[in-house]
Structure 1
Amino acid sequence: MRTRSLAALSVAALSAVLLAGCSTPADPDAEPTPSASAALDLCDAQVASGAATESVTVEGEIGQKSSATFTAPLEVTELQSTVVSEGSGDPVSSGDLVTYALSAFSADTGEELASMGYADSPLLPQQISAESPLGQMFGCATPGTRVVAAFPATEQGAGEVYIIDLIDVVPTAATGEEQEPVDGMPTVELADDGQPSVTLPDGDMPTEFQKATLKKGDGAVVEPGDQVLVQYHGVSWNSGEVFDESWGGAPFPFTVGSGVVQGFSDAVTGETVGSQVIAVLPPSAAYGEGEINEADLKGQTLVFVVDIIAAAPAAQ
């Protein structure tokens, strides 16, 4: 973990989003969000500064693509992180969703390898923890902090140098303005942390796809092909039971129109970031018609409450 490139991890994460495919929208076996006790370890997770990172000169504003100047080849024997500029506000905690941006450079030649997370190439937020590369770079830093990180060479490639900006902490639930409920749709109640619970109405199950906006966010409109990060809560109308949800674990990233059932993509398409929607998926918009069963949800009518946390345009 401590010798893997953050840029490589980011590319892998984006590839996983593009190729995501599972029988339900998220992995029900995903590990839960780190507990409060784990948050105490985040401050200790930051790796030490070193000669390699301290030799790098950085030019540019926080949140904007910047340059790294150093004498190449730069000898990097271990993972290092040096704080270039400290942010302000409350320190991040383990499990927080954070936005970040980075520029990567070859430690051998000094040439720029890639940049991502800036206005022209936004990244989805990621959870920070003591085990994550971001946690190892920043520890419990404050938003607005910039570090220079250096990774030693591996069997996969030469050493690399990064300028990494910890931009902000983002909400883990929809923050939009509450909307009037729609008659005939299931009703939703929210816990203090935003986790929803669903009450199904009396009467026959719908036979066509339906959705309603419960909270209206003021962010970008979600388009087909976008990468999105959501929280979701799924209930079977047939049994009344919760069959899957992201709450209690990590928010779920996916590409609209790929790797999830059609109705799940339709639920977020045309909605704005910060919104919460409820969608009713008949079998034709979910896992198909057939004999009703619990194993693969075939034949079942599903209800999803989806909080749209972030979106990024499809990679060009």
Structure 2
Amino acid sequence: MRRRSLIFAAVPAGLVTLAACGDDKSDDSSSAADGSASPSASDPSAAPAPKIVDGPLPAITAGARLGEKPTVAKGSGDPSDQLAVKTVVAGGGRTVAENDYVQAHYLGQVWDTAKVFDNSYDRKTPLVIQLAAGSIIDGWRYALTGRKAGSRVEFSVPPTWGYGKEGNSQAGIKGTDTLVFVVDIEGTFNAGSSAEGKDVPQDDAAVPKVGTNTDGKAPSIEIPQADPPKKLVANYVIEGDGETVTADSSVLVQYKGVVWDTGKEFDSTYGRKALTSFGLQQVVKGWSQGLTGKKVGSRVVIVIPPDLGYGDQPPAGSGIEKDSTMVFTVDILAKM
């Protein structure tokens, strides 16, 4: 079992917490509008990998440019019983690998009827989801792996690698329906991802100094030889230019946490080699308050006093003593 992330809010024994393991997916990252069906999947498929074929695929009749909501014709004839995949627009970004998180706009419809059952363009919010078994339908995993960020990909998914024989009744998808997706890949993230932006001067000698490396390795944290601040500190180390995080946002991050008094690391996504996604309502108050108002793409140093962290009830076995001040470096990779 993977080690539990320690950023999540502690709850009294016996109460159910919203917190998940550090590499679990937040519900916010894959939920869709009422009556729609995002490509998330609750269970991994036992089906063998499909063959990747060129077609057939229906024509995109409008909204042909990357980022535009497409209109897709009804499928003609019988669809392939394998995975038909076409790169409509070839991007030049990083190559998507299985188990990466992808950020993408998408439209999905039924082959036989051209009924659109879901699209993110109308919501004006791209999906951020992990291409991992049990996290997303297998058709997405196989179709997008190996494609590049900045690409538009069209593909058809038979039931075997979609919603199976049960279909998805909420979205009106039958167990015999082949699905057609158009996906605009905006970005891809993995354990080697880092903040992207401009370095911000770290002039306050009372605040820990954080490394500015962006090579996917854990940045250093230098603790001042002084007493910790009594109030929350949340400063840019690297300032990105993405969307602003709000109090109700969910985010995808890299982070490392140390204790002020000792400088000892107690938690790190770098050590687990797995990113973490969560809603800001799920985490300790210092994280929620510290990240609210910050921009995607940024690295932030957060100094959390005990009253906004774990106080006198730190997680058992965490290495965090009672009334400890915690210091985190957090790379905000995506807003979900």
**Cα deviation, residue 154, structure 1:** 2.4
**What is the distance in 2 between the residues matched to 1:150 and 1:27?**
27
Which blocks of at least 5 consecutive residues in structure 1 are unaligned? 1-18, 29-44
Residues 210 and 219 of structure 2 are in contact (CA less than 8 Å); yes or no, is this contact kept in structure 1?
A: yes
In structure 1, what is the equivalent of residue 297 of structure 2?
Answer: 274
Q: Tell me the SS of whatever aligns to 2:330.
A: strand
Residues 105 and 125 of structure 2 are in contact (CA less than 8 Å); yes or no, is this contact kept in structure 1?
A: no
In structure 2, what is the equivalent of residue 265 of structure 1?
Answer: 288
In structure 2, what is the equivalent of residue 183 of structure 1?
Answer: 205
How many percent of aligned residue pairs carry the same amino acid?
25
| Counterparts in 2 of 1:291 and 1:232: CA distance versus 1, 3 Å | closer
**What is the distance in 2 between the residues matched to 1:291 and 1:110?**
53
Deviations 1:40-82 (A, max 9, x none): xxxxx784227xx51522223232221232258x766745132
Residues 95 and 146 of structure 2 are in contact (CA less than 8 Å); yes or no, is this contact kept in structure 1?
A: yes
In structure 1, what is the equivalent of residue 146 of structure 2?
Answer: 140
| Counterparts in 2 of 1:79 and 1:261: CA distance versus 1, 3 Å | farther
**What is the distance in 2 between the residues matched to 1:138 and 1:293?**
40
Q: Of residues 194, 212, 222 in structure 2, which corresponds to 1:173? A: 194
Report matched runs for 1:181-220 at 5 Å.
Answer: 181=202, 182-191=204-213, 193-194=215-216, 195-220=218-243
In structure 2, what is the equivalent of residue 82 of structure 1?
Answer: 85
TM-score between both structures, scaled by the size of structure 1: 0.72
In structure 1, what is the equivalent of residue 120 of structure 2?
Answer: 116
Q: Of residues 285, 301, 310 in structure 1, which corresponds to 2:325? A: 301
Deviations 1:260-315 (A, max 9, x none): 11111112111112221101112211123248964484532211111112224xxx
**What is the distance in 2 between the residues matched to 1:57 and 1:88?**
20
Q: Tell me the SS of whatever aligns to 1:83.
A: strand
**Cα deviation, residue 135, structure 1:** 3.9
| Counterparts in 2 of 1:88 and 1:210: CA distance versus 1, 3 Å | closer
RMSD: 3.3
In structure 2, what is the equivalent of residue 99 of structure 1?
Answer: 103
In structure 2, what is the equivalent of residue 9 of structure 1?
Answer: none
**What is the distance in 2 between the residues matched to 1:236 and 1:190?**
20
| Counterparts in 2 of 1:78 and 1:289: CA distance versus 1, 3 Å | farther
In structure 2, what is the equivalent of residue 150 of structure 1?
Answer: 157
The residue type equivalent to 1:154 in the other structure is: K
In structure 2, what is the equivalent of residue 21 of structure 1?
Answer: 19
**What is the distance in 2 between the residues matched to 1:253 and 1:20?**
13
Q: Tell me the SS of whatever aligns to 1:253.
A: strand
Deviations 1:85-107 (A, max 9, x none): 14043661526554322111134
